Chains A and B, each alone.
Chain A
Amino acid sequence: MEKFNYLLRLGDDSLILGQRLAEWCGHGPILEEDIAMTNISLDLIGQAISVLNYAGDVECKGRDGDALAFLRLEKDYKNLLLVEQKNGDFGDTMMRQFLFDAYRKLLFERLQSSTDKQLAAIAEKSLKETRYHFKHSAEWVIRLGDGTDESHKRVQNSLNNLWRYTDELFYVDASDKVLTKQGILPDLSDLKSLWLQEVNTVLDLATLQIPTNNWQFEGGRKGVHSEHMGYLLSELQFMQRVYPNMEW
């Protein structure tokens, strides 16, 4: 049960952010970035397929990755509030991506040493992709932050708006502690300080400031989502709800 729960968190982060990035298809500021965001989306959806299929196997109730992705109710999704936030402008999307990529890169590095062979294999595979995503998002945060007055102002605003969702990246509950005891989850207690270090290095180069107001929100990990989630799911699930079991 604990493992299933953790796999949902990991898989839902990929699935929901992948869905958000896919919304950029045909709307990117330039063609190359349109392609970049949809490529990253594809990697994330691929990771979601691996993780959710495995979650289905672990659960043993006959649900596969598709059933988990398309047929759960909102409260049963365990993704971070950060990844379901709206795309906003290109700077908002890059800032959200950067904060997430920095976290996932460190997380996958650790998960490679999980005693659970399948989880370790997924982490090993996904890490290579995540490093590439991080390079892309971090470079954009620096370009925009250290760019024109307008881009600086706007991406600082993105950071101010998204920072309140970052404590949740390091959410740990009793279920995780069981997995840590079993060695399925490696020790992640220093993940936040490593993340802060990495994020600070990039934000310094970008001449951006972490907001001093540190009011934080959480809920996604428990299935309590922001108002944006319902709209996202109605689009994500539309085909399976309207044409049950359709394939293409």
Chain B
Amino acid sequence: MVSPEDIYVFLEEVKDPEIPVLSIIDLGIVRNVEQLDSTWKITITPTYSGCPAMQVIEEEIKIRLSKEGISCLVVNELSPAWTTDWISAKGRENLRNYGIAPPEHEVDKSVLFSAPTVVPCPKCKSRSTKMVSLFGSTACKAHYQCLICLEPFDYFKCLK
């Protein structure tokens, strides 16, 4: 007999294809797992509307569960909208070790020309860094550079 807890253990092995150190559980995009008659309904939520990783993640969920002989239906639900607050503490630590700075508490985005968020360098931990661009290699990241060790790095930007 498969329990919801088992399903979560299997899903822990499904990673974000763009950030392979981050499981979809740590990313906080699995909303619910529920047993229907002969299948499981997995409800997920997108990080960004156009994130191309979502389709891959849906496929990976189906592949992982089919290895256990479990069939599933993956449903996307938009509300409540995903926020970076849902990334787990373990996920944040994994991001940092991977060289991506995890989300920091950010100032109000509605203020124009507000000072960029201070983001510590994931390599040397210095707080002396600069934002290079609000936008980065994927929709969820901004581009920063460390002024001490000069490492350019991705910052997983805060979304609230």
Interface residues of A (CB under 8 A from B): 32-33, 35-36, 39-40, 42-47, 49-50, 117-118, 120-122, 124-129, 131-132, 135-136, 138-139, 142, 202, 205
Task: Tell me the interface secondary structure of chain A in the complex.
Answer: helix
Looking at B50, B52, B78, B160, which has the most chain A CB atoms within 10 Å of its CB?
B50
Contacts of A45 in B (CB 8 A): 50
A111 and B52 CA atoms in complex are apart in Å by 25
B135 contacts partner chain A, Cβ-Cβ < 8 Å: yes
A42 and B109 CA atoms in complex are apart in Å by 20
Query: Are the C-beta atoms of B49 and A120 separated by less than 8 Å?
Result: no
Q: List 24 A-B contacts (CB under 8 A).
A: A32-B135, A32-B143, A35-B143, A36-B135, A39-B136, A40-B135, A42-B48, A43-B49, A43-B50, A46-B46, A46-B48, A46-B49, A46-B50, A120-B79, A121-B77, A121-B79, A124-B78, A124-B81, A126-B49, A129-B48, A135-B112, A138-B112, A139-B112, A142-B112
Query: Are the C-beta atoms of A128 and B81 separated by less than 8 Å?
Result: yes
Contacts of B132 in A (CB 8 A): 32
B69 contacts partner chain A, Cβ-Cβ < 8 Å: no
Q: How far is the CB of B133 from chain A (nearest CB, A)?
A: 4
Query: Are the C-beta atoms of B46 and A135 separated by less than 8 Å?
Result: no
A118 and B75 CA atoms in complex are apart in Å by 14
A158 and B109 CA atoms in complex are apart in Å by 26
A35 and B78 CA atoms in complex are apart in Å by 25
Contacts of B110 in A (CB 8 A): 131, 135
The 4 A-B residue pairs with the shortest CB-CB distance in the complex, in nearest-first order: A46-B50, A46-B49, A121-B79, A32-B133
B51 contacts partner chain A, Cβ-Cβ < 8 Å: yes
Looking at A33, A42, A136, which has the most chain B CB atoms within 10 Å of its CB?
A42
Tell whether A125 pairs with B135 under 8 Å between CB atoms, given A120-B79, A135-B112: no
Contacts of A124 in B (CB 8 A): 78-81
